[in-house]
Chain A
């Protein structure tokens, strides 16, 4: 008894079968692409919804302007990143120029690849406790090239603090304060929830812009 094997298609010659095979292969390709796109777009939508709910208010010492200003700028910065130093200078110019139309919040996002960025963020946060956040931010960025190459930049930050008239001992204590470290961790966690992975990252009225030039374009658009 001969068993007849089931065939995918009835035609006898192999050249006749190539048409249906190709068609099925194309259909499978379409199915693969649709599944791939569906999964990606679905996860993207879920993540976007999670990001929208991720915003947290910032401590008042790290803000500029009034909360009901027309344009809200949220900046995630890393003190060891050269692009952040340029962007901070640009932002300060805009703050001077636009004044009441801007509300700026600064958040810490020290990148793991910058070995002193976290300590620099701590120093700025400690200066905030003595109401000198903006001055310290400017000094840290101005001296970036010097403390970046130091083995231990603590002395640099203390001397910058002294230059701003801050209490030396309070600064020393603060630099190892866990509650200050927790503030930085909370900023990093918020940044990650918002999808921040590079610095400087800005949110201009909620719209993400990474890097100084993109920030400037987004700001010009928002101020129109």
Chain B
């Protein structure tokens, strides 16, 4: 079950990160600007960096390489997303689609906050069961080699 959870979240993050990286950066910049929470420079930098972090978390979760760090990254990222989306809902910002999966899926804000809470909870489950979640992982291979 933990393994399925790990691979499902990895897939989610790989698809989401890759989709943003494959489409022009200006699209994601527009998404960030719609949330109206960061100053302009941070929005610009985030539009470059965020999709790479998303993809990296997905890849490292799938490979099981630095799994604990990847799970911590996952928790931090989903926690931040919950805060950003919640403030948009609270302020009733006119955002029709979250923009979290580029052009692939359009989710309303209330739908995306449920997804983010689920991902955050999953990240905590993975973190507290890191050994069980680490089956079929490169970390496990390295641990065996070093013991």
Q: Is the CB of B23 within 8 A of A197?
A: yes
Q: B58 — nearest CB in chain A belongs to which residue?
A: A36
Given A8-B145, A28-B138: A195 touches B33 (CB 8 Å cut-off): no
A82 within 8 A of B: yes
Report the separation of the CA atoms of residues A21 and B102 in the bound assembly, to the nearest whole angstrom.
Answer: 38
**When each residue 44-68 of chain A gets 1 if its CB lies under 8 Å from chain B and 0 otherwise, what string results?**
1001000100000000000000000
Q: B139 — nearest CB in chain A belongs to which residue?
A: A25
Q: Is the CB of B26 within 8 A of A208?
A: yes
Complex interface: stretch among A98-106, A167-175, A210-218: A210-218
Please tell me the size bucket of the interface on A: 20 to 34
Residues of B within 8 A of A (CB): 18, 21-24, 26-27, 29-31, 33-34, 52, 55-56, 59-60, 63, 65-66, 94, 96-97, 99, 102-103, 106, 138, 142, 145-147
- Classify the interface of chain A: helix, strand, loop or mixed: helix
A209 within 8 A of B: yes
Given A197-B102, A214-B26: A113 touches B97 (CB 8 Å cut-off): yes
Report the separation of the CA atoms of residues A8 and B22 in the bound assembly, to the nearest whole angstrom.
Answer: 39
Q: A7 — nearest CB in chain B belongs to which residue?
A: B145
Residues 1 to 49 of chain A near chain B (Cβ within 8 Å): 8, 14, 17-18, 21, 24-25, 28-29, 32-33, 36, 40, 43-44, 47
